[in-house]
């Protein structure tokens, strides 16, 4: 049976923003099913190179079918980008793309345990070989921790009631399926948001927490800048306001450089200059793209360019 497709979001905009040089070296740190990678490869000439990472072994397996000698696929979390490039003996690259979050095949494959649309074993790990499954976490986490996770990463106002309900329920029987978790959450949510399943926010929160998604993003961004050639571009697509805030602040701070403390006039030459230049404003998907692919609704693309001297 063929697996569910992943339609790349803001694909043309993101790949155009990378301003591909045919002989350049590029990184797609979130290969997924290779939608953006294919477009990058199409812009590369025979001597260009694309290094693509994904922490999901299924994505890496699917990518092997591309059989393109210019493509190096690496099974790794992108927080290890610097170490991956060191292993490949690549000092600097001409562009990095991050299209963060989950892919459609992850959400649409019931056996991955990401979605309340199916009743399946509760897992939610992008890399099933690493870290704790959602079922194991829910079996052991303190009520306060569950509530904090659901409130922080899901911005769910009924986080406390949900956490209380989950802890009470697990005392009778462990919560090991997506269906049971969704039913328990639905019963604890006092007021439903129109058009949204009551478990949407909690499922998203648990996934973000267990996959350390915000920590991964904060860890990779400085490594991207360290590794970009001057003139090289960083393009980041995020789907959640918490992620976009991290990207926006990071790019702004890197563009600004070191600031003198208010009461201490330090000559500008002694302060570290900014390493990035912002390229354009945040971009969103067009109405036509959102109509064709509702997943694009919350996508935000931010682009910045490395400034500074060429590497020795
Ligand atoms: C939105 S999808 C990318 C889709 C891809 N651009 C395409 O067109 O097919 C996100 C992908 O990034 C991967 N991913 C998310 N966080 C990651 C991380 N910290 N390290 C490596 N891969 C990650 C997920 O496993 C998923 O396959």
Does 119 map to a domain?
Answer: no
CA separation for the pair 8, 117 (Å, rounded)? 22
Together in a domain, 169 and 198: yes
CA 46 to chain CA centroid, Å, is 29
Query: pLDDT per residue over 113-132, tens digit each?
Result: 898 888 999 999 999 999 99
Q: Are residues 289 and 235 in the same domain?
A: yes
Examine the pLDDT at 312 and tell me if it is beyond 50.
Answer: no
ipTM: 0.99
Residue 238 domain flag: yes
Mutate to test the pocket of ligand 1, among 98, 126, 215 (most ligand atoms within 8 A of CB): 126
Q: Where does residue 289 rank: exposed (0-12), middle (13-18), buried (19+ CB within 10 A)?
A: buried
DSSP bridge partners of 73: 52
Of the residues 210, 233, 255, which one is the last residue of a structural domain? 210
Side-chain half-sphere CA neighbours of 272 within 13 A: 8
pLDDT at 220 over 90: yes
Residues framing ligand 1 (Cβ under 6 A): 6, 8, 30, 32-36, 53-56, 59, 77-79, 99-101, 103, 126, 216
Q: What is the pLDDT of residue 310?
A: 58
- For residues 99 and 234, membership in a common domain is answered with yes
Q: Which of 158, 175, 210 is the last residue of a domain?
A: 210
Read off the pLDDT of each residue in 149-173 and give the average, rounded to a whole number. 97
User: Of 139, 123, 148, 219, which Cα lies nearest the Cα of 173?
Assistant: 139
pLDDT for position 1: 44
Region 279-302: what's the mean pLDDT?
A: 96
End of a domain among 172, 192, 210?
Answer: 210
Total domain count, the chain: 2
310 dihedral zone (left: phi>0; alpha: psi -120 to 50; beta): beta
């Amino acid at each position: 049976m063929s697996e569910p497709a992943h339609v790349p979001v803001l694909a043309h905009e993101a790949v155009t923003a990378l301003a591909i040089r045919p002989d350049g070296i590029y990184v797609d740190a979130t290969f997924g099913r290779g939608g953006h990678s294919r477009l990058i490869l199409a812009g590369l000439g025979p001597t260009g190179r694309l290094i693509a990472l994904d922490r999901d072994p299924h994505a890496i397996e699917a990518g092997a079918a591309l059989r393109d000698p210019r493509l190096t696929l690496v099974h790794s979390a992108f927080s290890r980008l610097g170490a991956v490039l060191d292993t490949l003996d690549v000092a600097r690259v001409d562009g990095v793309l991050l299209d963060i979050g989950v892919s459609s095949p992850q959400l649409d494959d019931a056996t991955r345990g990401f979605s309340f649309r199916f009743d399946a074993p509760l897992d939610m790990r992008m890399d099933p070989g690493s870290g704790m499954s959602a079922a194991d976490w829910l079996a052991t986490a303190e009520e306060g921790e569950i509530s904090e996770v659901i409130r922080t990463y899901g911005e769910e106002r009924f986080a406390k009631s949900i956490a209380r309900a989950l802890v009470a329920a697990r005392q009778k029987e462990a919560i090991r399926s997506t269906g049971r978790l969704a039913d328990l959450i639905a019963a604890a949510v006092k007021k439903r948001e129109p058009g949204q399943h009551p478990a949407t926010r909690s499922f998203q929160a648990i996934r973000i927490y267990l996959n350390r998604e915000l920590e991964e993003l904060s860890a990779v961004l400085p490594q991207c800048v360290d590794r970009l050639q001057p003139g090289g571009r960083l393009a980041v697509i995020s789907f959640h306001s918490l992620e976009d805030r991290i990207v926006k602040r990071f790019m702004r701070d890197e563009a600004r450089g070191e600031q003198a403390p208010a009461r201490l006039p330090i000559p500008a030459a002694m302060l570290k200059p900014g390493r990035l230049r912002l390229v354009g404003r945040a971009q969103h998907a067009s109405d036509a793209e959102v109509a064709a692919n509702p997943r694009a609704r919350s996508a935000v693309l931010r682009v910045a360019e490395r400034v500074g001297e060429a590497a020795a």
